[in-house]
């Protein structure tokens, strides 16, 4: 099997104090945390941090004031 040089795209998950919300957003593993936070902000979340979770192979955005944005993210 040949080695692929194509960049890997991973899902963006938003986490609040009590809940993890899967969004329909994806980003490259090589993206910066600032870029990931901006994507979450574009759909209505108020992020205060972003990290790449190697175990889940997903970007995890920590956010506050999630309730209105959860409805928009699931559309």
pLDDT (tens digit, 9 = 90+) per residue, 4-16? 677 789 999 999 8
How far is 44 from 67, CA to CA, in rounded Å?
Answer: 10
**Does residue 57 surpass a pLDDT of 60?**
yes
pLDDT of res. 65:
64
Contacts of 51 (CB under 8 A, 6+ apart): 33, 59, 60, 62
Dump pLDDT digits (tens) for 29-40.
999 999 999 999
DSSP 75: -
Domains parsed from the chain with CATH numbers: 9-73 (3.10.20)
**Does residue 63 surpass a pLDDT of 80?**
yes
How far is 73 from 59, CA to CA, in rounded Å?
Answer: 15
């Amino acid at each position: 099997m040949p080695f692929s040089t194509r960049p890997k795209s991973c899902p963006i998950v938003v986490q609040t104090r009590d809940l993890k919300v899967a969004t329909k957003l994806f980003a490259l593993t090589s993206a910066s945390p600032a870029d990931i936070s901006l994507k979450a902000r574009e759909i209505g979340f108020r992020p205060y941090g972003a990290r790449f979770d190697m175990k889940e192979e997903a970007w995890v955005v920590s956010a506050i004031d999630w309730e209105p944005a959860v409805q928009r993210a699931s559309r």
